[in-house]
Copies of this chain bind each other. A is one copy, B any other.
């Protein structure tokens, strides 16, 4: 594959994806469910092939000196392969997102108008090293009747290809075209550029899934709509009215349950009015769990275990056992801090004062706002929406968890009896 061939190759993929999307839009829900079930079967049946492909990727990654965290993301084992198949089965079991009548009304002239959910068309998904995204994203697109062009990280190329083969086996077993789930067959970065900007006639939307640099590149280069997933600089705000045990439990969970997910808390805001009563229990729990605290001047003055935060700390997604902590003078200051430093992902308020809660909910504009609950609930499964491609932080089309339902559009179907417009 040379760079010169890329536009022709990508255009061909685009044409096939568009034809597959048209076929999928007309397929039955039973066919799509059968394809998902068969894909899950195929993943289990070809487990050894997938693990062998993954071993090739792992070997290359180790030679390239990838970090332990990167290697762990890349690694597949028997349990992870089984979990992938189970994930596809769970997606198959979700309600059919297509054909839902999401609104219905009758006009005075007798026209009956229905708004009906339809697929988006062709989705381009660009992701990084986790090979299981190939299965998750492929299955979510198939569930929602969309054709997909996948472009995974070069590190996971062989693993993803083996998984993609299983997805195609599933499609074909159900009489659907394998073109519904395609994967860019090269690790050449020019192919990503072409997917983003060169094929607006074939690609309806791009979903990037990965780190800050990937998202920034996609949002800058894309000539088609992007359902964006920015980083999660999530805040927990402890209001003066907070119950101290609730504050301690939620801050600890929001930060430390898993530090590497986008819904993990990165900044703790605490009312100066309750520092005396609430700081120690919260800070003790964090420090006992191995968390570093980067505090502002008031917190550092109060607690010698905190190190001094720099301005950059308020804008950092650590994804690690570190929390930035700042004392604020009431809810207006907390809201102003979040508006200035948040990424619009998820914020929580811990409070017993209901008026403060309503102000927090009204004045802040993040995808997810929680009261007395952990930010780590920012997850499609926890929302009861099933698997998701990510948590969208943009405001167009879908916001928050992006599952099968969010990968649909709608059309209006209007039933008349001869009406003409006066």
Contact = CB atoms under 8 A, between A and B. Distances in A.
Given A373-B419, A421-B382, A412 B367 contact: yes
A120 B377 contact: no
A204 to B, nearest CB: 6
A399 B395 contact: no
Interface string A239-252: 00001011001101
Nearest to A106: B384
Interface in A249-274: 249-250, 252-254, 257
Contacts of A397: 225, 396-397
Contacts of A415: 357, 370-373
Interface residues of A, number: 69
Interface in A106-137: 107, 111, 113, 116, 118, 120-121
Interface in A339-375: 339, 357, 361-363, 365-374
Contacts of A150: none
Contacts of A365: 25, 118, 411
A396 B399 contact: no
A118 B22 CA distance: 33
A331 B339 CA distance: 54
Interface in A1-44: 22, 25-26
Nearest to A254: B420
Given A25-B365, A113-B383, A369-B411, A418 B204 contact: no
Given A418-B373, A419-B374, A105 B384 contact: yes
B257 A369 contact: no
Contacts of A372: 415-419
Contacts of A395: 118, 120-121, 204-205, 409
A75 interface: no
A300 B414 CA distance: 32
A337 interface: no
A400 interface: yes
A369 B412 CA distance: 6
A186 interface: no
A367 to B, nearest CB: 6
A219 interface: yes
A265 B225 CA distance: 29
A116 B366 CA distance: 11
A396 B396 CA distance: 8
A194 interface: no
Given A120-B396, A370-B416, A396-B120, A376 B421 contact: yes
A243 B416 CA distance: 13
A190 interface: no
A112 to B, nearest CB: 9
Given A204-B396, A395-B120, A412 B368 contact: yes
A368 B114 CA distance: 10
17 contacts: A25-B365, A26-B362, A26-B363, A107-B383, A250-B420, A257-B420, A357-B415, A361-B413, A367-B411, A368-B411, A371-B416, A377-B419, A395-B409, A396-B397, A396-B409, A400-B410, A400-B411
Shortest 9 CB-CB distances between A and B: which pairs?
A: A373-B416, A253-B420, A395-B409, A225-B396, A376-B421, A397-B397, A370-B414, A372-B416, A373-B419
